[in-house]
């Protein structure tokens, strides 16, 4: 697995807290499309196809522990 960028880690943390892509975009002062781009990169790096799988994989890899 490739390392996550700082922004991908931020998006992952906020997604794990239950925020929608639009809410994350508002908090990070970027567009929803940018957040969706980061989420797509997360899915690719974690080798998953949806948010639930991404959060489970990130948790099992210990990626959420330090966020």
Question: Does the structure show a pLDDT above 70 at 66?
Answer: no
37 assigned to some structural domain: yes
Structural domain for 32, as ranges? 6-60
pLDDT confidence bin for 67, thresholds 50/70/90? low
Domain annotation covers residue 67 = no
Q: Number of structural domains, the chain?
A: 1
Q: What is the DSSP string of 41-60?
A: HHHHHHT-SSHHHHHHHHHH
Task: Say what the pLDDT of residue 26 is.
Answer: 98
The CATH number that applies at residue 16 is 1.10.10.10
Q: What is the pTM of this model?
A: 0.91
Q: How many CA atoms lie within 13 A of 61 on its CB side?
A: 16
In a domain, 55, yes or no: yes
Closest CA to 34 of 16, 48, 21: 21
| The Cα angle at residue 14 between residues 62 and 31, in degrees rounded to 5 | 130
**Does residue 14 form part of some domain?**
yes
pLDDT digits (tens, 9 = 90+) for 2-54: 799 999 999 999 999 999 999 999 999 999 999 999 999 999 999 999 999 99
């Amino acid at each position: 697995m490739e390392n996550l960028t700082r922004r991908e880690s931020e998006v992952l943390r906020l997604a794990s807290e239950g925020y929608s892509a639009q809410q994350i975009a508002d908090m990070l002062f970027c567009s929803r499309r940018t957040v969706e781009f980061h989420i797509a990169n997360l899915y690719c790096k974690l080798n998953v196809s949806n948010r639930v799988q991404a959060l489970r994989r990130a948790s099992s890899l210990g990626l959420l522990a330090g966020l």
